[in-house]
Structure 1
Amino acid sequence: MVGDKITAGQKELVSDFIKYCDSLNNITRTTNIAVSRLSSKTNSKEDSIYTPEIYLAYINEIMNIERLTPLAIRVQSIANTWLYIIMHLSDLWRSSSIIDDLPIIEIEEINITSFSWFKNNTLSIDQAQIIVNQVQLKVKNSIASKNKAVLYFHVIPELAVPFATAAVLCELHRRQKEQKLLLHTLRSGLVKKVRDKFFSRHDLSNSFQSIKMNRSTSTYLFYSVLEEDGPDSDIALELTSMLRSHKKLTSTEIYLNNTNKDGSINRVSINVFRRGHFGWLFNYIVSMASETSPTSHRLEQKTLQIEELRRRLKPYEIEAWGKFITEKKERDRSVIAELSAMPQEYFKQLVKKILLGKMPSRQENGQCLVHPKCSFTNKLKCMDCKYFIPQSYMLIEAVEELKRISLSLENSKYDAIRERDSKLFLYIFILFNEAYQALGKEYVDSFLAKEEFTRIVKKTSEFLKLPVQ
Structure 2
Amino acid sequence: MSFDKNKLLTTKETAKLLSLGSTTAVLHLIKKKALPNAYKQDSAWKIPLNDIKNILDKRKNSIDTKEAMEILRYNNTTSIIDLINLSIFPNAFKLNGKWRIPLSDIENYKSKSFQSLSTTEAAIELGLSSNAAVSELIRRNIFPNVFKFQGKWRIPRSDFDEYKKIYYDNDYLSIDKIMIILKKSRSAILSYIHAGVFPKSLKLNGSWRVHKDDLKNFESHLVKKKNALKMQRSKYNSNKRIKLNDDPLVKDYLSAKDISDNLNISRYEVHKLFKDNTFNQSMKYGNQWWVPIKEYEKYLIYRKKIELDIENSLTVKEAAKKLGYKNSANIVELINSYNQFPHSFKHNNTWYIPKKEIEEFQMKKVSKNRKIDYTPSVAAKELKEFVDNFDTKIELTETKKLFKQYCSQQINKIKGSNRYVRDRILLYKRFYKKIVSNMNNEIFLLSTEEINSFFQDSSSFKKGEKKILILFLKYVYNQKAIDPEIEFSLLSNGFREKTKELYSPEVFFEIYQYVKNVNIHIPSSVNNRSYANMWVYTILLMTDFIRGQDLILKTPNINLQHLDIDDLKWFNDNHLTDFQIESVIKQLYIHYRHQRSNKTDELLTFIVSPDLKEPLAYGLVISELHRRSVESGLILNTFTEGKYNNIRTEGKISHKRFFDKLDNKYDFLFSSRKMNNTVATYLFYSIAEEDGEDSDLALHLTQVSRSHNRGDSTRRYIQATNKDGSINRVAYNLFKRGHFGWLYNYLIIYLNHLDHVHHTLEDRTRLIENVRDNVSPSHLENLAEFTLNITLPSNESNQNIESFLEEMYNKRKNLVSKLQGYTKSEIQEILVKLSRGNLPSKNENAQCLISPSCINPQLTNCFSCEYVIPNNLILIQLNEEMLRLIKRLKEEENHLLMKRETKFLLHTLFVWKEARLAFGNEVVNTYIPSQKMWDEINKISHKLKLE
Short-chain TM bin: 0.7 to 0.9
Deviation at 1:62, TM superposition (A): 1.5
2:656 maps to which residue? 195
Aligned length: 439
Secondary structure of the residue aligned to 1:445 is helix
2:777 maps to which residue? 307
Contact kept in structure 2, 1:223 and 1:267, CA below 8 Å: no
2:868 to 388, 403, 422: 388
The one-letter amino acid paired with 1:418 is M
Secondary structure of the residue aligned to 1:290 is helix
1:16 maps to which residue? 455
1:389-414 CA-to-partner distances (Å, cap 9, x unmatched) read 01111112212322332343344212
TM-score normalised by L of structure 2: 0.43
Q: Does 2:697 align with 1:235? A: yes
- Gaps in structure 2 of 5+ consecutive residues: 1-451, 460-484, 641-646, 757-767, 789-796
Q: Distance in 2 between matches of 1:451 and 1:201?
A: 42
Secondary structure of the residue aligned to 1:380 is coil
Q: Distance in 2 between matches of 1:304 and 1:108?
A: 39
1:329 maps to which residue? 809
1:96 to 549, 556, 565: 549
Deviation at 1:199, TM superposition (A): 4.2
Deviation at 1:173, TM superposition (A): 1.2
Contact kept in structure 1, 2:773 and 2:779, CA below 8 Å: no
The one-letter amino acid paired with 2:782 is R
Contact kept in structure 2, 1:65 and 1:162, CA below 8 Å: yes
1:171 maps to which residue? 624
2:558 to 102, 105, 122: 105
**Where do residues 262-277 of structure 1 align in structure 2 (5 Å cutoff)?**
263=725, 265=727, 267-268=729-730, 270-277=732-739
Q: Which moved more, 1:174-183 or 1:123-132?
A: 123-132
Q: Distance in 1 between matches of 2:493 and 2:726?
A: 33
1:77 maps to which residue? 530
Q: Does 2:877 align with 1:397? A: yes
Q: Distance in 2 between matches of 1:361 and 1:139?
A: 20
Secondary structure of the residue aligned to 1:430 is helix
Contact kept in structure 2, 1:157 and 1:443, CA below 8 Å: no
Cα distance change, pair 361–28 in 1 and its aligned pair in 2 (3 A): closer
Q: Distance in 2 between matches of 1:417 and 1:54?
A: 61
1:115 maps to which residue? 568
When you count strand as a share of all residues, which structure comes out higher? 2
The one-letter amino acid paired with 2:455 is D
**Where do residues 32-51 of structure 1 align in structure 2 (5 Å cutoff)?**
32-33=491-492, 35-36=494-495, 38-39=497-498, 41-42=499-500, 48-51=501-504
Secondary structure of the residue aligned to 1:389 is strand
Deviation at 1:330, TM superposition (A): 1.2
Secondary structure of the residue aligned to 1:16 is coil
1:24-74 CA-to-partner distances (Å, cap 9, x unmatched) read xx9999x952543532x43xxxxx221222112212222111221121111
Contact kept in structure 2, 1:259 and 1:265, CA below 8 Å: no
TM-score normalised by L of structure 1: 0.85
**Where do residues 242-321 of structure 1 align in structure 2 (5 Å cutoff)?**
242-258=704-720, 263=725, 265=727, 267-268=729-730, 270-292=732-754, 305-315=775-785, 316=788, 318-321=798-801
Cα distance change, pair 446–413 in 1 and its aligned pair in 2 (3 A): same
Secondary structure of the residue aligned to 2:927 is coil
Q: Distance in 2 between matches of 1:449 and 1:441?
A: 10
Secondary structure of the residue aligned to 1:122 is coil
Contact kept in structure 1, 2:683 and 2:731, CA below 8 Å: no
Cα distance change, pair 241–28 in 1 and its aligned pair in 2 (3 A): closer
The one-letter amino acid paired with 1:102 is T
Q: Distance in 1 between matches of 2:891 and 2:584?
A: 34
The one-letter amino acid paired with 2:559 is E
Contact kept in structure 1, 2:585 and 2:617, CA below 8 Å: yes
1:6 maps to which residue? none
Contact kept in structure 2, 1:52 and 1:267, CA below 8 Å: no
Contact kept in structure 1, 2:607 and 2:735, CA below 8 Å: no
2:928 to 435, 443, 448: 448
Q: Which moved more, 1:188-197 or 1:66-75?
A: 188-197
Q: Distance in 2 between matches of 1:184 and 1:304?
A: 46
Q: Distance in 1 between matches of 2:735 and 2:816?
A: 25
Q: Does 2:593 align with 1:140? A: yes
Which structure has more relative contact order (CA 8 Å, sep 6+)? It is 1
1:257-311 CA-to-partner distances (Å, cap 9, x unmatched) read 34665558452164111111111111111122233358xxx9xx95984323212
Cα distance change, pair 113–193 in 1 and its aligned pair in 2 (3 A): closer
Deviation at 1:19, TM superposition (A): 12
Cα distance change, pair 19–213 in 1 and its aligned pair in 2 (3 A): same
1:218-237 CA-to-partner distances (Å, cap 9, x unmatched) read 12222222334432223322
The one-letter amino acid paired with 2:630 is K
Contact kept in structure 2, 1:125 and 1:446, CA below 8 Å: no
1:354-406 CA-to-partner distances (Å, cap 9, x unmatched) read 12211121111111111122232221111111211011111122123223323
Q: Distance in 2 between matches of 1:348 and 1:148?
A: 26
Cα distance change, pair 28–279 in 1 and its aligned pair in 2 (3 A): closer
1:219 maps to which residue? 681
Sequence identity (%)? 30
Q: Distance in 2 between matches of 1:447 and 1:453?
A: 11
Q: Distance in 2 between matches of 1:106 and 1:264?
A: 38
Contact kept in structure 1, 2:692 and 2:755, CA below 8 Å: no
**Where do residues 337-356 of structure 1 align in structure 2 (5 Å cutoff)?**
337-356=817-836
2:917 maps to which residue? 437
The one-letter amino acid paired with 1:439 is F
RMSD value over aligned CA atoms? 3.1
The one-letter amino acid paired with 1:135 is L
2:886 to 385, 400, 406: 406
2:895 maps to which residue? 415
The one-letter amino acid paired with 1:195 is K
Secondary structure of the residue aligned to 1:33 is helix
The one-letter amino acid paired with 2:805 is I
Secondary structure of the residue aligned to 1:267 is helix
The one-letter amino acid paired with 2:553 is D
Cα distance change, pair 372–273 in 1 and its aligned pair in 2 (3 A): same
Contact kept in structure 2, 1:80 and 1:183, CA below 8 Å: yes
Deviation at 1:154, TM superposition (A): 2.3
Cα distance change, pair 151–14 in 1 and its aligned pair in 2 (3 A): farther
Q: Distance in 2 between matches of 1:283 and 1:353?
A: 15
1:368 to 848, 851, 866: 848
- Gaps in structure 1 of 5+ consecutive residues: 1-12, 21-25, 43-47
Q: Distance in 1 between matches of 2:724 and 2:553?
A: 41
Q: Distance in 2 between matches of 1:88 and 1:432?
A: 31
Cα distance change, pair 242–109 in 1 and its aligned pair in 2 (3 A): farther
Q: Distance in 2 between matches of 1:286 and 1:264?
A: 22
Deviation at 1:210, TM superposition (A): 0.8
Deviation at 1:342, TM superposition (A): 1.8
Contact kept in structure 2, 1:78 and 1:198, CA below 8 Å: no
Secondary structure of the residue aligned to 2:634 is coil
Deviation at 1:432, TM superposition (A): 1.7
The one-letter amino acid paired with 2:602 is A
| Structure exhibiting the larger radius of gyration computed from Cα positions | 2
Q: Distance in 1 between matches of 2:458 and 2:878?
A: 63
Secondary structure of the residue aligned to 2:869 is strand
The one-letter amino acid paired with 1:96 is Q
